[in-house]
Amino acid sequence: MDTPSSAFSPSPDDGGARRPADARPSAAKQAGWPERVDAGPHRVAFRHTVAAPAEELWALLADPHRHHEVDGSGTVQATVVGPHRLATGDRFTVRMRKFGVPYRMTNTVTEAEPSRVLEWRHPGGHRWRWEFLDARDGATEVTETFDYSHLSKAAMRVHELARTPQDNARGIRASLTRLAALHL
């Protein structure tokens, strides 16, 4: 299904790419646009302050059956096989769609500390990490990181040639903005 062009908006720092309306900064008025974090080489990270407690945000993201609610890339679908509360060592399979092609992805949780950190490893070896830090007035500073530093040099180069870091930067900003919009 096509989305009307009025439902999209250019986002900063991504060459004017169009983002869904619920991924615009105005969708998360309490916090503005996510800011880039220097997480080191071969990592893409952004931080955003969300007007909700860390426990609530961690619980939402620890339930892979709800990841589609937050996903800013547009690839994560609602069909998931796995637990409703992730723990270290758990595996979960998510139905995905990219470039119109459906596929499934089984991820393994590498770290799960309630209200603090949640990380899983993609079958290709890269990792997705969410960190939660209490902020003032009951808000939480949330950092999402795409980490491909664990990959071989050849695999890193493939990601860079395919512009995966840039694409994931856009998706991370949109995901953090959507997370904040759920808590207006």
Note down the domain range covering 113: 35-181
Residue 94 lies in a domain: yes
Asked whether residue 174 is assigned to any structural domain, the reply reads: yes
Is pLDDT above 80 for 8?
no
Span 67-88, average pLDDT: 96
Can you tell me the distance from the alpha carbon of 72 to that of 144, in angstroms, rounded to the nearest whole number?
12
- CA quadruple 50, 51, 55, 58: dihedral positive or negative? negative
Average pLDDT, rounded, for the chain: 87
**Contact between residue 172 and residue 71 where contact means Cβ atoms under 8 Å apart:** no
Distance (Å, rounded) from C-alpha 22 to C-alpha 14?
17
Query: What is the CA angle 112-22-137, rounded to 5?
Result: 55
The reported pLDDT for the residue numbered 109 is: 99
Q: How far apart are alpha carbons 42 and 155 in whole angstroms?
A: 11
> Quick check: is 46 in a domain?
yes
pTM of the model: 0.83
Mean pLDDT for 10-26 is 43
- Classify residue 12: in a domain, yes or no: no
Residue 154 in tokens? 């050849």
Residue 106 domain-assigned (yes or no): yes
* Structure confidence at residue 19 as a pLDDT band (50, 70, 90): very low
CA 176 – CA 162 distance, rounded (Å): 23
What's the N-to-C CA distance of the chain in angstroms? 28
Average the pLDDT over 98-111 and give the result. 96
What average pLDDT score do residues 85-110 get? Answer: 97
11 domain-assigned: no
Q: What does the alpha-carbon distance between residue 62 and residue 109 come to, in Å, rounded to a whole number?
A: 10
Q: How confident is the model at residue 30 (pLDDT cuts 50, 70, 90)?
A: low
| Predicted confidence band of residue 4 (pLDDT cuts 50, 70, 90) | very low
Q: How many domains does the chain have?
A: 1
**Are 170 and 38 in contact, with CB atoms under 8 Å apart?**
no
Q: How far apart are CA 4 and CA 113, in angstroms?
A: 40
* H-only helix segments in the chain: 54-61, 67-70, 153-161, 164-181
> What pLDDT is attached to residue 64?
98
Q: Is 30 within a domain?
A: no
Averaged pLDDT for residues 31-45: 91
User: What's 136's domain CATH number?
Assistant: 3.30.530.20
> How many CA atoms within 13 Å lie on the side-chain side of 162?
8
> Is 63 among the domain residues?
yes
pLDDT per residue as tens digits for the range 54-64: 999 999 999 99
Residue 73 has pLDDT above 80, yes or no: yes
Pair of tokens at residue 71: 């996903």
